[in-house]
Amino acid sequence: MKRPQVVETVSDLRAVVREWRKQGLSVAMVPTMGALHDGHVSLMRIGLERADRCVVSIFVNPTQFAPTEDLDKYPRQLAADLDRLAQAGVQLAFTPTAAEMYPEAFAAKVTIGGPSAGLETDFRPTFFEGVATVVAKLFLQALPDLAIFGEKDYQQLCVVKKLCRDLDIPVEIVGAPTVRDAEGLAMSSRNAYLSPDELAQARELNKILRHAAQALHLGADAQQTLDEARRQILAAGFGSVDYVEARESDTLARWRRDREGRILVAARLGATRLIDNVEIVRS
């Protein structure tokens, strides 16, 4: 099992990628915040299938956390993460410090409208600004041909696609299906915070969403179906539901029955906030 090369600075990252380019090799990137799980490994596999080399960034990005959120508590486990990269066959890890990414007097902010409106933004107003800023930086630092993002963070995937489209960033964005456990719980670094009881309750979330998506597919009224899903999520033991909404798959505008759609949810279980989404199969 070959260990990945690890670089911490933008200039070292560029030197490795430049060398690959000289050899005519294509490059995939998987941006992550570490605490890697099978979901991340599936993104790396897609990267390695689609390109000759894969670089994974591991950076807990402070600008996407609100002051009240879990930045300090966010799981950090670099040694275990590097083992995962080695198992997946990834060639390069980029593990910058916060000072490398945001040197003193850093003042840029990338704001993307469109798909960032509503949903997460209603509860985490500066989240996508932080994500778009760091992803734009990572792309300009590594200049990959393609980058892979999980569909679990569906709104983020739409925002990153829009970022590249609107700013003419020549990186192909590939969306990868959500990896779930046997009972449908989406893999997430935040699942590590759940107690055994909460884990059992969390597993209800995807079942409720799939049921609602099936009802919409069969023609049920959208608002009634979403209200019922909200009731079921609370009955399953969640403390609150931030949102459960049906949106169009590409623009995230309010879903119309003749369009591709997704139900997106964010709900709180104890101190943990979980998100998930499912496709509404078109009737």
C-beta separation of 60 from 76 below 8 A: yes
**Interacting residues with ligand PAF between 123 and 182 (CB under 6 A):** 131, 134-135, 153, 156
Please identify, using beta-carbon distances, which residue of 82 and 134 lies nearer to ligand PAF.
134
- Look-up: residue for tokens 């933008």? 10
Instruction: Tell which residue, 171, 198, 200, has the closest CA to residue 183.
Output: 200
Residue 35: phi and psi, rounded to 5, are 50, 50
Catalytic residue among 37, 40, 211, 217: 40
Please identify, using beta-carbon distances, which residue of 119 and 131 lies nearer to ligand PAF.
131
15-23, 27-35, 180-188, 259-267 -> range binding ligand PAF (CB under 6 A): 27-35
Please identify, using beta-carbon distances, which residue of 149 and 238 lies nearer to ligand PAF.
149
Residue 211 a catalytic site member: no
Per-residue contact string for residues 51-80; x = within reach of ligand PAF by CB under 6 A: ----------x--x----------------
H/E element holding 98? Answer: helix 98-101
Burial code (b: 16+ CB inside 10 Å, e: under 16) for 21-54 equals eeeeeebbbbbbbbbbbebbbbbbbbbbeebebb
Q: How far is the CB of 234 from ligand PAF (least distance, A)?
A: 27
25-33, 92-100, 107-115, 263-271 -> range binding ligand PAF (CB under 6 A): 25-33
Could you list the active site residues?
Answer: 40
